Chains A and B, each alone.
Chain A
Amino acid sequence: MARPEAGKTAVLDAPGNASSTKKATTMANTSVIRLEQVGKVFEQKKQRFQALKQIDLTVESSEFVVIAGPSGSGKTTLLNLIGLLDQPSSGKLFFNGRDLSQCSSTELAQLRRDQIGFVFQAYNLMPVLTALENTEMVMEFRGMAADKRRAAARKTLTALGLGELMDRYPDQLSGGQQQRVAVARAVAGEPMLVIADEPTANLDSRTAESLMDLMSQLNREHGITFIFSSHDPRVISRAKRVISLCDGSIVSPVSQAVEFSHAV
C-alpha cells in the first residue's frame, strides 16, 4: 500500500473541504456521545452480572479515543452501548445531544445507518459481496443513488490503497486487506462517529500500525470521531485520549494531550 503522506495526500476529500469543515465546526460544541451514570447488567440463568457500573463519559466531535482495559473489563459492552447496538440497564445515553432512552429500535437502526460507522474485530464483511459492494452497502441501506454511492465507495477504497482489489470477494483478501475494506465500509458514508472494537486484534503489528495511521488520518483530515478499544499498548499510545476500564468502571480518564505524530 502506498501510504499517503500526511498533509500531502488526503484520504477522502481534501482537508478543509467544505463538507468536512462544516462538520467540524457545527459539531464542535456538541458532544457526539454522552453517558450519564450508565450501567449494564447481564442476566443469565438467574445470574446477574454487572458489566458496567455508573459510567460517566463525554466524547466530543473529532476526538480520537481509545478504550483500554484488560479482557473482561467491559470494553465491548461499552462500545456496544455507544454504538447503539445495545441499550443500557440504567442511566442515560445521549447521541448528538439526543436522549436515546425513548428511541425505538427502528430509530436506533436509522441512527446507526446514517451516523455511525462500525469496524468489527472479526472484520465481518459480507462474504458474498465484493470489496466494492461491501463498501457500498451501508449507503445502499440509506437509499442513496447507485452512481453516487458507487463513486463514494470507489474513492474511499482507492484512497485506502485498495483500488486494485475492489472486485475481490473477502475470501480473496488477506486479513489486513479485509480490515481495510471494513474501515472503508465504515467511513465511506461519512458518518459522524466510527466505532471500532479491537480493530487490530487479528492483525500483525505492521498491518495494525498502518491501520492506525489510516484511522488517525481520517480523524485529522475529516473530523470523524473515532472511538476504539484495544489492549495493545502500541495502539493505545497512538490515541489522543485513553479511557481505562477495569471491572466495568472507568479508572483514570487520562487525557493525552500528546499530538499525534506520524513517525513511530
Chain B
Amino acid sequence: MKLERKLAMRNLLRNRQRSLLTSIMIVATVSLMILFQGLSDGGHRAMVDIGIKMGLGHVLVYQQGYNDDPSLEHLLVDAAATGQQLQQSVPELTHMVRRLHLNGLIQAGANGVPITLAGVDPGLEVQVSRIADRKSMTAGQTLAELPRERSGNGLPGIVIGEQLARNLEVGLGDRVTVSVKPKGSSDLSREAFLVTGIFKTGMQELDAFWAELDIADAQRLARLGQEVSVLALYLDDVEKVGPVAARLSSQLPAGKYEVLRWDQVAPELHSAVMLDAAGMYLLMVIVFVVVAAAILNTILISVMKRTREFGVMLALGASPALVVRVVFWEALFLALFCIALGGALGYAGHYHFATEGLNFREVFGTTLEAGGVLLPDRFFSFIYPGKLAFSLLFVLLLTLLVTIYPAIRASRLAPVEATRHG
C-alpha cells in the first residue's frame, strides 16, 4: 500500500472511537436519506398514480381549444380514427379511453345539484379509473357490472358519489333526472336515470359533484354523434409522460389537437407533489450539512492532534502535497466506508418498504390527503437510481470539499513543529 493510504487508513483505525462515532453519524444520515428519498418518491408516485386514476390520465388528447373553452363546440369529432392512430404510434400505451364530459343538473324530488357528468366506456374505464373501480363502490354495481339489457322499467343506469346521493336524498334504485344543454340549442335536454351504484373516493369534488354514465347515454342526452371530450392515454411508466406528450404534440397535426400532460391538467396535484418534493430537498440539504460538519469536525480534530506528526513528515522532507494526500485519503476512506454501509442499510430499508409497502393508516393512525387526493393506505418505496447515485456522489464530493481546509492547514505547518516537545 502506498505510504499516504497506509498512514490514512491506520490513523482512522488507531482513533477507532472517533472514527466510529463519526461513522455512526454519517451512516445513520446516509441510510435515513435513502429511506426518506425512497418513501418520499414512492409516496409521490402513489399520489400521481391516484390522481391519474381519478378520471384523469397520463397524457390527454383534446380538440384544439377545449381547455380554454370546454364546451360542446370543442369536441373531438373523429375520436375513433384518432384513437386508432394513437394506438399505433404510442408503444408505451397500456390503455386508452374516451370520455365525454358534460355539465348538467341532477335532480331528485325537490333537490337539484349542478354536477359534472362523465360518459365513459364502462368496460375500459373500470380498468383505469378509481371512480369506476369495484373497490370504490359503497353500494350497488359499477357501470361495467350492469347487465346489457335495461332493467324492468327501462331506465339507463347512473353511478353517483356518496355525498351527492346524500345531498339528493336518494339511494340505490332511486330515480334521478339529469338535464344538460345540448349542442346548438337553448332548450334543456332531460332524461331519467336509475341510481345503480354509489361510489366513494375521498375526494370532495368527485363524491359530491360527479356522476358517471355510459358514453352512449351521454351522447344521446347531449344530442351528439360519436364526439368525445377527451382521449385519455395511460402509459406503462409515469416517467415516460413527458417524452410521450412531447412526441405526440409534434406528431399530431398542429392546430387540430391539444396534447396535455397530467400535471398540466391537474396543476394543484402537481404542485402538491412538488411542494412535498421541495420539503424532501430541504431535508437532503440538512443531511448534507450534518455529514459535512461531522466529517469536517473529525478530520480537523484529527489533523490538529497530529501537528507534531505532520511537522515531522515535513521536517524530514515530505512535500506539502503528500501531507494533503494523507488527509484526503483519510476523509475518502471514512466517507467511502460510511457511504457504502449507509447505502447498504438504507437500501435494505428501502427494499423492505418497496416490497412490503408502508401502511399509512398503521404509521400515522389516519389517512393522508395531499393535493385533494386521498393517498392510498399502502404505498411502496421507490428509488430513482440516478437520483440515489447523485446524492451519494454528492456526499462524497462534500466530504472532499470540507477536507480542503484541514488538509491545507496540515500541509502549511512549519517543519520546526517537529522540534517542539512537551
Inter-subunit contact B7/A106 (CB<8 Å): no
| A76 is an interface residue with CB less than 8 A from chain B | yes
| A-B contact list, 7 entries, CB within 8 Å | A83-B315, A85-B315, A85-B415, A85-B418, A109-B415, A126-B309, A126-B312
Q: Which of B186-194, B228-236, B282-290, B316-324 contacts A (4 or more CB under 8 A)?
A: B316-324
Inter-subunit contact A85/B419 (CB<8 Å): yes
**How far apart are the CA atoms of A121 and B421 in the complex, in Å?**
8
| A118 is an interface residue with CB less than 8 A from chain B | yes
User: B312, B315, B419 — which one has the most chain A CB atoms within 10 A of its CB?
Assistant: B419
**How far apart are the CA atoms of A110 and B315 in the complex, in Å?**
10
| B16 is an interface residue with CB less than 8 A from chain A | no
Inter-subunit contact A80/B14 (CB<8 Å): no
**How far apart are the CA atoms of A113 and B308 in the complex, in Å?**
17
Inter-subunit contact B14/A118 (CB<8 Å): no
Inter-subunit contact B319/A80 (CB<8 Å): no
- Chain A residues with CB under 8 Å of B315's CB are 83, 85, 112, 118
Chain B min CB distance to A119 (Å):
11
Inter-subunit contact B322/A141 (CB<8 Å): yes
- Chain B residues with CB under 8 Å of A2's CB are none
Inter-subunit contact A112/B416 (CB<8 Å): no
- The residue on B at minimum CB distance from A122 is B421
| B103 is an interface residue with CB less than 8 A from chain A | no
**How far apart are the CA atoms of A253 and B180 in the complex, in Å?**
120
- Chain A residues with CB under 8 Å of B414's CB are 85-86
The listed residue (A86, A114, A120, A121) touching B317 by CB distance below 8 A is A114
- The residue on A at minimum CB distance from B10 is A128
Inter-subunit contact A126/B7 (CB<8 Å): yes
Chain B min CB distance to A43 (Å):
15
**How far apart are the CA atoms of A80 and B314 in the complex, in Å?**
13
| B11 is an interface residue with CB less than 8 A from chain A | yes
**How far apart are the CA atoms of A13 and B385 in the complex, in Å?**
62
Inter-subunit contact B416/A86 (CB<8 Å): yes
- Chain A residues with CB under 8 Å of B319's CB are 106, 109, 141
**How far apart are the CA atoms of A111 and B415 in the complex, in Å?**
13
Chain A min CB distance to B324 (Å):
14
| B110 is an interface residue with CB less than 8 A from chain A | no
- Chain A residues with CB under 8 Å of B418's CB are 85, 118, 120, 124
**How far apart are the CA atoms of A174 and B414 in the complex, in Å?**
28
0/1 per residue, A193-235, Cβ < 8 Å to B? 0000100000000000000000000000000000000000000
The answer to whether residues A120 and B314 also contact, given A137-B3, A141-B322 and a CB cut-off of 8 A, is no
Chain B min CB distance to A1 (Å):
25
Inter-subunit contact B316/A137 (CB<8 Å): yes
Shortest beta-carbon contacts, A-B, top 7: A113-B317, A128-B10, A122-B421, A112-B317, A124-B312, A85-B415, A85-B416
| A140 is an interface residue with CB less than 8 A from chain B | yes
- Chain B residues with CB under 8 Å of A80's CB are 416, 419
Inter-subunit contact A120/B421 (CB<8 Å): yes
**How far apart are the CA atoms of A85 and B314 in the complex, in Å?**
9
**How far apart are the CA atoms of A161 and B18 in the complex, in Å?**
36
| A16 is an interface residue with CB less than 8 A from chain B | no
Query: Quick one: which of B95-130 are within 8 Å of A by CB?
Result: none
**How far apart are the CA atoms of A83 and B415 in the complex, in Å?**
10
**How far apart are the CA atoms of A91 and B119 in the complex, in Å?**
101
Q: A113-B317, A122-B308 are in contact. List 13 more A-B contacts (CB 8 A).
A: A76-B419, A85-B418, A109-B314, A111-B317, A112-B317, A112-B415, A120-B419, A120-B421, A127-B14, A128-B6, A133-B6, A140-B3, A141-B318
| A129 is an interface residue with CB less than 8 A from chain B | yes
- Chain A residues with CB under 8 Å of B416's CB are 80, 85-86
Inter-subunit contact B317/A109 (CB<8 Å): yes
- Chain B residues with CB under 8 Å of A121's CB are 419, 421
The listed residue (A106, A112, A127, A128) touching B316 by CB distance below 8 A is A112
Inter-subunit contact A128/B7 (CB<8 Å): yes
Chain B min CB distance to A41 (Å):
15
**How far apart are the CA atoms of A197 and B418 in the complex, in Å?**
11
- Chain B residues with CB under 8 Å of A185's CB are 316
Chain A min CB distance to B396 (Å):
24
**How far apart are the CA atoms of A203 and B316 in the complex, in Å?**
23
- Chain B residues with CB under 8 Å of A137's CB are 3, 313, 316
0/1 per residue, A97-138, Cβ < 8 Å to B? 000000000100111111010101110101111000100011
**How far apart are the CA atoms of A83 and B416 in the complex, in Å?**
10
Inter-subunit contact A138/B316 (CB<8 Å): yes
Inter-subunit contact B419/A110 (CB<8 Å): no
Inter-subunit contact B316/A118 (CB<8 Å): yes
